[in-house]
Amino acid sequence: MIEDSEIEKLLLPRFMNYVRYCTESSRNVPETPSTAGQWDLARALCEELSALGLKDVTLTNHCYVIARLPPSPGKENAPSVGFLAHIDTASDVSGKDVQPRLVPNYNGEKIELAGGLFLDPAKEPDLAAQKGKTIIHSDGTTLLGADNKAGIAIILTAMEYFLRNPDIPRGKIRIAFTPDEEIGRGMSKFPKEKAKSIFCYTLDGDGEGTIEMECFNAYSATVNIKGNVIHLGSARGKLVNAVKLASEFVQMLPSQESPEATDGRYGYYCAVNISGNLGEAKVELLLRDFDKTNMEKRIKAVESAAKTLETLYPGSSVNVSFTRQYGNMADLITKNIAVYPLRYCCHISNS
C-alpha cells in the first residue's frame, strides 16, 4: 500500500524546485522552443532522470526531453505506456522569480497575497475543497506554474517510486516533456520516431479524478490591416486609421462566443493581442472548437469579417493568415478504437 506521506516527501520538494525556473513561452517567437528559459529546466530534468537511473535520456535540438523506464522482470512483453507533460508556462502572467508558498493542513480560510490580493474559498469552490490538505500557491506577484510543472513533478515522482520499489509489476514506460504547449506548438517538432508507446497519458487538466479523451481543434489567426495615412489636420474623408479598424474587427467577433462566455464543448474566438499604428495594425486571434465543421465555419467567419471591414473602409486592406495548432485527439481515437481503447487514450488531471 502506497502511503500518501511517502509520495508527498518525494513530490513536494521536486515541484517547489521546478516552479522557480522561468519557462514562459512566447507566441511572438517562431523558433522551438520560443524562450531560452525552457532549456534550463529541460537540462535539469535530463540530469535528474539520468541520476534516477532512467535509460536513453535524450534532449533533442528542439528541447524535447525523452526517456524510458525498463519493465519489471516478467513484464518485458507488456504494452508500453507513455506519460507526457509540458515544460513551458503561460506568458499572460509573469513566471519569473516565482515564490511558492507551502501551506500544510490548509484551514479553509482566506489566503492573503501580495498587493492586498486574496484567495477566497467563498469565491473559489476548488480552493474550499482543499481544506485540511497541503496546498501550494504563489505570493500573488506571479503565476505559480503548476500548469504544467505539477505534471512533470508527478511523472518524475512516479518514476522514482518505481525505481525504489522494483518489485512492483510494471510494463515499459516512456516519458516526454515538451516545450511551447501554451502557444499551441507542444508537439510540432516532436521526433515521431521516438514515439514507441501505443497509448499515452498527458498529465495536465482540470479537477481531481478528471479523465478527458478529447480536446479542441485549435487554430491561430493573424489579421494584418493596412490603412491610409494622411496629416491629421487634413484627414477628413481621407484617413483610414488602421488602429481603429483593428478595434472594429475585434468587435465584429461574437461576444457570446468568447472564452469568458462559454464552457463545456462550446468553441470560441479569442483576441489575444492588438498592435500597430495609423498605417498598419495586427490582430492575433485564437480559434477553438471541438467540431471540425464548426471550426471551418469559424475560419470563414473571420475571413468574412475581414472582407466586410475592407468594404466599409475603402482604401484599407485586411488580410488573414491561419495556422493549424493541433486537432481534437478524439477524431483519431474513435477511428482506431480497436488499437486505441478509450480507457487508455486520455488527458488526465494533475490536480
CA distance linking residue 332 with residue 338, whole number of Å:
11
CA distance linking residue 346 with residue 209, whole number of Å:
12
Query: Quick one: cell of 37?
Result: 528559459
CA distance linking residue 28 with residue 196, whole number of Å:
32
- Name 301's Cβ contacts closer than 8 Å, sequence gap at least 6: 253, 269
Annotated catalytic residue: which of 48, 181, 182, 289? 181
Phi/psi for 157 (5° steps) reads -65, -40
Q: Which amino acid is at 339?
A: V
101-103/81-86 β-pairing:
unpaired
Q: E-assigned strands of 48-204?
A: 55-59, 65-69, 81-86, 101-103, 111-112, 118-119, 135-137, 173-178, 199-203
- Upstream peptide bond of 100 is cis (omega within 30 degrees of 0): no
Mark whether 120 is an active-site residue.
no
Annotated catalytic residue: which of 48, 88, 160, 180? 88
**Closest by alpha carbon to 322, among 295, 293, 350, 294?**
295
Residue length of the chain: 351
* DSSP 8-state class, residue 158: H
Between vectors from CA 156 to CA 155 and to CA 161, what angle results, nearest 5°?
100
Mark whether 88 is an active-site residue.
yes
Residues marked active site are found at 88, 181
